[in-house]
Chain A
Amino acid sequence: MQIELQNINKHFGAVHANKDISLTFPEGRIVGILGENGAGKSTLMKILSGYQPASSGNILIDGQKVDYTGPLAAIANGIGMLQQDPLDVGAFTVLENFVFGREPASLIDRWFHNKSSAREQLHSITANFGFKLDPEMLISELSIAQRQQLEIVRLLAQNVQTLILDEPTTGISADQKELLFSILREMANDGMTILLVSHKLEDVIALCDQVAVLRTGAIVGEREMPATKAELVTLMFGEDLPTPQRQHKNLDRQAIVLELDNLSASSGRLQMHDIHLSVRAGEVIGLAGLDGSGQDLLMRTIAGLHPVEQGRRVFNNTDVTNKTYHYLYDRGVVYCAAGRIEEGLIAGLTLTEHVALTQGTGMRIDWQRARTSTTDKIENYDVRGQHNDTIEQLSGGNQQRVLMSLIEQHPKLMLLEQPTRGLDVDSASGIWEKLLERCANGSVLIFSSPELDEILTYSDRILVCYAGETYLVDDPSTITSTQLGHMIGGEFQR
């Protein structure tokens, strides 16, 4: 089937997220929808897949105007979307999740889902693709890649003809990516239309037949593939971007700030044993790994937010194994979670109140100082917001910038989960500039990121996590992004 978008517009309040977008997706093609974070690609795809209504414009399928409300209706029209964070229910089993929301096949099935026939169908499709999905596993026990696989299987079982994938390669390993891409190619050969939403040029180059590029809500270019990375960059940004160069630092003479000695910790099924790591002032350690492989657990354990089961945690030559987060916080340890507004910022408090909360001690609040300092942060971190705006009034990117701006100027140790989540390239490099500035002054940075390139670019050393096991890469310049992709899939032997 061929899909045509005509003059799609979408407004969120004052924000014009999609500006008069017209595009055609021919049958059997893999189309890349390329653009930075916040360029409007996800919004456009949500409109196409029925998750959000367009403010104006038409969708035509094979020349016929369609008018649907809701994702189910889009699926009935043959359009299905795989969200970046798959929309499944953690407490369901694979089988329950597979059946949930599908048209019943028979009268009994209408009331009581027919387990055996669903199981057979699930088995036949998964076997076909070489996926391994145990129907009785809980969704919450699956990896992101497995949850993606299940969503694809589910959508295919509902006869979806056009499959939209939103950033599907974020958080999966190189092997999982190869498997995914080969299946997508196979499906396109069978006549399906695949729309790949991504900001990663290499993915688009590897997979797509054609691309459409969005910038600030509008289409700024369309072309047939193949194209070189440079050509795509020019389309995306209108200019070449200088790639940030990593400087080799000699840290041997710096003091050791953090030392993990035989450290063990566990959370649920995830167990980490005998971790050794010593970090010198000014060093940047990148934690690479699939979602839930231990990066977060490790950072929380270092921060004192999760108990150490065995071994020692030494900070500034003091054994702090049994100390709390507050003890460490008072001595210059900062931890920022990836959840932003849920974990890190406080909805309902203004920017100034956030600054006042993190500055100074004692009962009295120096509001004058807090306001001045807020002004500085707004300017330095390019926050689009006012002093008295409450934090939830800000966009996600601005919230992230506020969170980063709240980190004190000379921390000893920064533990940051996904410090540039949801930021476009410009803002991300702005944040990195500020972080590296602190490192140059002797702060240690330990961070995680699902973007392997970010890890390779900024880390002095990389700690790869896989199912709780760790592997230390001493010199990131010796490995490529693909090699790292294999390593996070558990292949430590290069």
Chain B
Amino acid sequence: MNDALINTLNSIIASATPLIIASLGETITERAGVINLSLNGSILLSAMAGFAVATVTSSLWLGILIAMLIGAVIAFLVAFGSLTLKQDQVAIGFVLTLLTADLAQFLGTDFQNIEGPVAREITIPLLSDIPILGGIFFEHDAFVYFSFVLLAVVWIFMFRSRAGLSLRAVGERPEAAFSRGVNVTTQQYLYTIIGGALVGLAGAAYSLGVKAGWQATPAMNGDGWIALAIVIFGGWHPARVVFGAYLFAILRSLVSIIQRDPNIDIPVVLLNNLPWILMIVTLALVSGGVIDRLLQMLPLHWQRRLRGILRSNPPEALGQVFNNQK
């Protein structure tokens, strides 16, 4: 395997990282039955704020912290508007995605196109010496390693822990969760805010990591929507969500390879459509029940094993607000 390929794969891993963090965050939120549609703006504002704070204070950690805090606050606003004030969840999320994007642009004017701190690459001793794999997976900044750990943690939490049972039950059948002593609304607030904090972290992973800095037309604009689509494509399962994020990253890297190849003459702007077309195609595949049909073809034994990963139904109570008085 040549070095160029290893480098490409390494950069795919790096560029997928913010998408992974954001879509895992949203997966948690949606598993609790809440849709946080503000992702796109949320990522922009937290990216800008994280970068600004890190630049002013020269503290990367403070920047990351502020980014997460902003993501959490936006998520709280979604939860408050929909769970407590019973307003349309999608409307609140949509308004917030526009509002926060404008806010990022407005407040970020002074930080455009300046040099700022960037997360260092940390080479993991021993692991990075593994041939091929070491170079692909273990020469990255801390965000990337965090995304590895995050997948494991979210997976174990969701499917192996007691609290994970409550989380899933709240999104699937809140009445049942209530009957087992779960405070549905509190849990929904909690997981919306945790999910939002991760979305904020994803913002920092852009502006302090792969797409360092802040521009007038931010490079990460649009990725929030992609992350939302990845959650659906991923069937609300953390492992498949991460797979989806890597799939998008691979496609984007292919686009840039084609772009650099002088023998292929396709206008760049049209190539830029590919991720969006892929988004539609993948959503159509999932919603059209193709994955469900594949699942039905497997032997029963395998169906059971893969059920969690292959299912593509949204949480039953997604987007519905629980009201115990009924």
Q: In the complex, what distance in Å separates the CA atom of A109 from the CA atom of B163?
A: 11
Could you tell me which residues of chain B, from 218 to 243, have a CB within 8 Å of some CB in chain A? none
What residues of chain A lie closer than 8 Å to B169, measured between beta carbons?
Answer: 89, 92, 100
Decide if B161 touches A72 in the complex (CB within 8 Å): no
Give the most central of A92, A100, A110: most B CB within 10 Å. Answer: A100
Decide if B179 touches A91 in the complex (CB within 8 Å): no
Contact of A113 with B181 at beta-carbon distance under 8 Å, contacts A89-B173, A89-B176, A90-B173 already known: no
Residue B140, interface by CB 8 Å: no
Q: In the complex, what distance in Å separates the CA atom of A436 from the CA atom of B160?
A: 55
Decide if A96 touches B181 in the complex (CB within 8 Å): no
List the 10 closest A-B pairs by CB distance, nearest first.
A101-B180, A72-B181, A87-B176, A87-B179, A71-B179, A100-B165, A89-B173, A89-B172, A91-B172, A89-B169
**CB nearest to A101 among chain B residues:** B180
Q: In the complex, what distance in Å separates the CA atom of A439 from the CA atom of B218?
A: 68
Contact of A87 with B173 at beta-carbon distance under 8 Å, contacts A112-B162, A113-B162, A113-B165 already known: yes
Residue B88, interface by CB 8 Å: no
Decide if A101 touches B181 in the complex (CB within 8 Å): yes
Q: In the complex, what distance in Å separates the CA atom of A89 from the CA atom of B176?
A: 7
Residue B77, interface by CB 8 Å: no
What residues of chain B lie closer than 8 Å to A99, measured between beta carbons?
Answer: 162, 165
Residue B307, interface by CB 8 Å: yes
Can you list 20 A-B pairs, Cβ within 8 angstroms, ordered by A?
A: A70-B181, A71-B178, A71-B180, A87-B173, A87-B175, A89-B173, A90-B172, A90-B173, A91-B313, A99-B162, A101-B177, A101-B179, A101-B180, A101-B181, A101-B182, A104-B162, A109-B162, A111-B161, A111-B163, A113-B162
Residues 301-313 of B, flagged 1 when their CB comes within 8 A of A and 0 if not, give 0001001000101
Decide if A90 touches B304 in the complex (CB within 8 Å): no
Sorting the interface of chain A by its residue count into under 10, 10 to 19, 20 to 34 or 35 or more gives 20 to 34
**CB nearest to B163 among chain A residues:** A111
A273 to chain B minimum Cβ distance, whole angstroms, is 17
Contact of A136 with B172 at beta-carbon distance under 8 Å, contacts A112-B161, A112-B162 already known: no
Residue A451, interface by CB 8 Å: no
Residue B316, interface by CB 8 Å: yes
Residues 71-104 of B, flagged 1 when their CB comes within 8 A of A and 0 if not, give 0000000000000000000000000000000000
Q: In the complex, what distance in Å separates the CA atom of A102 from the CA atom of B179?
A: 11
Q: In the complex, what distance in Å separates the CA atom of A89 from the CA atom of B313?
A: 14
A479 to chain B minimum Cβ distance, whole angstroms, is 36
Q: In the complex, what distance in Å separates the CA atom of A228 from the CA atom of B175?
A: 38
Q: Chain B interface mostly helix, strand, loop or mixed? A: helix
What residues of chain B lie closer than 8 Å to A87, measured between beta carbons?
Answer: 173, 175-176, 179
What residues of chain A lie closer than 8 Å to B160, measured between beta carbons?
Answer: 112-113
What residues of chain A lie closer than 8 Å to B178, measured between beta carbons?
Answer: 70-71
Q: In the complex, what distance in Å separates the CA atom of A88 from the CA atom of B174?
A: 10
Give the contacting residue for B165; candidates A83, A90, A96, A136; CB below 8 A: A96
Residues of A within 8 A of B (CB): 51, 70-73, 83, 87-92, 96, 99-102, 104, 109-113, 136, 138
What residues of chain B lie closer than 8 Å to A73, measured between beta carbons?
Answer: 181
What residues of chain B lie closer than 8 Å to A70, measured between beta carbons?
Answer: 178, 181
What residues of chain B lie closer than 8 Å to A91, measured between beta carbons?
Answer: 168, 172, 311, 313, 315-316
A412 to chain B minimum Cβ distance, whole angstroms, is 33
B155 to chain A minimum Cβ distance, whole angstroms, is 13
**CB nearest to A96 among chain B residues:** B165
**CB nearest to A49 among chain B residues:** B179
What residues of chain B lie closer than 8 Å to A89, measured between beta carbons?
Answer: 168-169, 172-173, 176-177
Q: In the complex, what distance in Å separates the CA atom of A110 from the CA atom of B165?
A: 12
Decide if A88 touches B173 in the complex (CB within 8 Å): yes
Residues 147-185 of B, flagged 1 when their CB comes within 8 A of A and 0 if not, give 000000000000011110110110011011111111000
A68 to chain B minimum Cβ distance, whole angstroms, is 11
B235 to chain A minimum Cβ distance, whole angstroms, is 12
B260 to chain A minimum Cβ distance, whole angstroms, is 45
**CB nearest to B180 among chain A residues:** A101
A186 to chain B minimum Cβ distance, whole angstroms, is 25
A160 to chain B minimum Cβ distance, whole angstroms, is 13
B310 to chain A minimum Cβ distance, whole angstroms, is 13
Other than the given A89-B173, A91-B172, A104-B162, 6 more pairs (CB < 8 A) read A51-B179, A71-B180, A72-B180, A87-B176, A101-B177, A101-B179
